[in-house]
Structure 1
Amino acid sequence: MGGQYKITGDRYPRMRPARRRGRLAFAAVACATVLGVVGWGTLQLIDVFTGDDKASAAGAGDRCRPTGTAASAAPAAVAVPEPAQVTVNVLNATTQGGLAQKTADELKKRGFRIGDVGNAPEKFDKKVGGTGVLLGPAASLKTSLPVLGTQLPAAERRTDAAREGAAVDLIIGDGFKGLARPAAADAALAELTAPRPASTGRQTC
């Protein structure tokens, strides 16, 4: 062009709109990045707070177990005999005379059958320092001996596999002060012969 509008110099005008578009694009990318980071962090926090609850629920499920069901009933208890079905030999291992007969008379009043009454054999004579010893065959451990044990709870219980017959021995020791009180003995006997409660099937945690 000539005349009045001649361009001089080495600088030329630049287009400003192009620079603004570049800045807008950069700002959009930055915002998207920030939003992505914030969203990821939020998900992590949610997992942290809800994860413990899920684990606790799972753990509680493992710990909760039924205490019993109708199908899993308690095992059948061994039949416990009545006192009248138990024959007791009352033997005195102390130096106090007449103690065996006195104890035998009391046991008879309480319904027991009385066998031999007298002094203990040499194996036990003057060698029982405690209240006494209840001795019977192996089969008596869960039958006759517990029934007799209600009358003398502190006595030691023993079995002899070679022993014959069903009778059991009450060997009186130096610590013997008498049989249990009738009321206490009756309560112990009632508890021994009481049927076991059925399972309720409830859950415990």
Structure 2
Amino acid sequence: MSMLTPPGMGGKYRIKGDTYPRMRRPRRRGRLVLALVGAIVALGLIGWGTIQLIDVFGGGKAKAAAHQRDCPSPGASGAPQALPKPAQITVNVYNATPRAGLAKTVADELKKRGFAIGKVGNAPEAYDKKVPGNGILLGAPAAAGGPFSVLGAQLKGATPKTDTRNTPDIDLILGTTFADLNTPKDADTALAALAKPAPAPSGKC
């Protein structure tokens, strides 16, 4: 036994010569695993933070731009609408009521308001005394826009209807509840509203 070996120790702890034994501490695998898990969590948080920054400085602007594209601007529906002048609209006035002379009276008034007058008389058999309400505006599909709107401003409650004609004239068929045309002032107010609609209310989309 060497002089360096403490009393009572032998075997693998026996010191031979002038060499001291290296007594290693047991490896602590638990700390290594915790350190590895902590590193993974940290990397995940860094990646998530990076994505959020990209969204704020890049994607956020893109989303805002897309939102603006999807939401109509407040004045989008307020663009002036081009309407034909009354002189550009030829109106055929037909009376579907039992009141005699009504078609001529209405035609004369429309003429004073600048409309071109075509045929005047009793309504065809298909409509005679069969038109409920104030009347029907009957014309080609092309008249369903401006011409119907301009003539419709002259009387309330007229029902627009299209047929297969290819001419620009419009039939005004007076119905059973028709009393009179709108006053010129009311008609002009309605036309002004049609020519320049009110802006659409702004709101969140």
Say which is worse superposed, 51-60 or 153-162, in terms of deviation.
Answer: 51-60
Shift of the 81–62 alpha-carbon distance from structure 1 to 2, 3 Å rule, reads same
Q: How far did residue 54 of structure 1 move?
A: 5.2
Q: How far did residue 170 of structure 1 move?
A: 0.7
For residue 123 of structure 1, what is the amino acid of its counterpart?
A
Superposition TM-score, scaled by structure 2 size: 0.65
CA distance in 2, matches of 1:162, 1:85: 18
1:104-123 aligned at under 5 Å gives the runs: 104-123=107-126
CA distance in 2, matches of 1:135, 1:172: 11
1:18 aligns with 2:22: yes
Contact 1:131–1:175 at 8 Å: present in 2 too? yes
* Aligned counterpart, 2:93: 90
SS at match of 1:42: helix
CA distance in 2, matches of 1:10, 1:138: 117
For residue 10 of structure 2, what is the amino acid of its counterpart?
Y
Shift of the 11–189 alpha-carbon distance from structure 1 to 2, 3 Å rule, reads closer
Q: How far did residue 127 of structure 1 move?
A: 0.7
TM-align CA RMSD: 4.0
| Highest RCO, 1 vs 2 (Cα 8 Å, sep ≥ 6) | 1
* Aligned counterpart, 1:43: 43
CA distance in 2, matches of 1:90, 1:146: 16
1:166 aligns with 2:164: no
* Aligned counterpart, 1:155: 158
SS at match of 2:161: strand
How much identity, in percent, do the aligned residues show?
A: 42
CA distance in 1, matches of 2:8, 2:160: 122
Shift of the 51–193 alpha-carbon distance from structure 1 to 2, 3 Å rule, reads same
| Structure 2: unaligned runs, 5 residues or longer | 71-79
Shift of the 167–11 alpha-carbon distance from structure 1 to 2, 3 Å rule, reads closer
* Aligned counterpart, 2:73: none
CA distance in 1, matches of 2:10, 2:146: 119
SS at match of 1:166: coil
CA distance in 2, matches of 1:158, 1:10: 119
CA distance in 2, matches of 1:144, 1:97: 27
Superposition TM-score, scaled by structure 1 size: 0.65
For residue 102 of structure 1, what is the amino acid of its counterpart?
T
1:136 aligns with 2:139: yes
SS at match of 2:27: helix
Alignment: residue pair count: 180
For residue 99 of structure 1, what is the amino acid of its counterpart?
L
CA distance in 2, matches of 1:53, 1:133: 62
Q: How far did residue 97 of structure 1 move?
A: 2.8
Contact 1:78–1:142 at 8 Å: present in 2 too? no
| Structure 1: unaligned runs, 5 residues or longer | 69-76, 198-203
Q: How far did residue 133 of structure 1 move?
A: 0.8
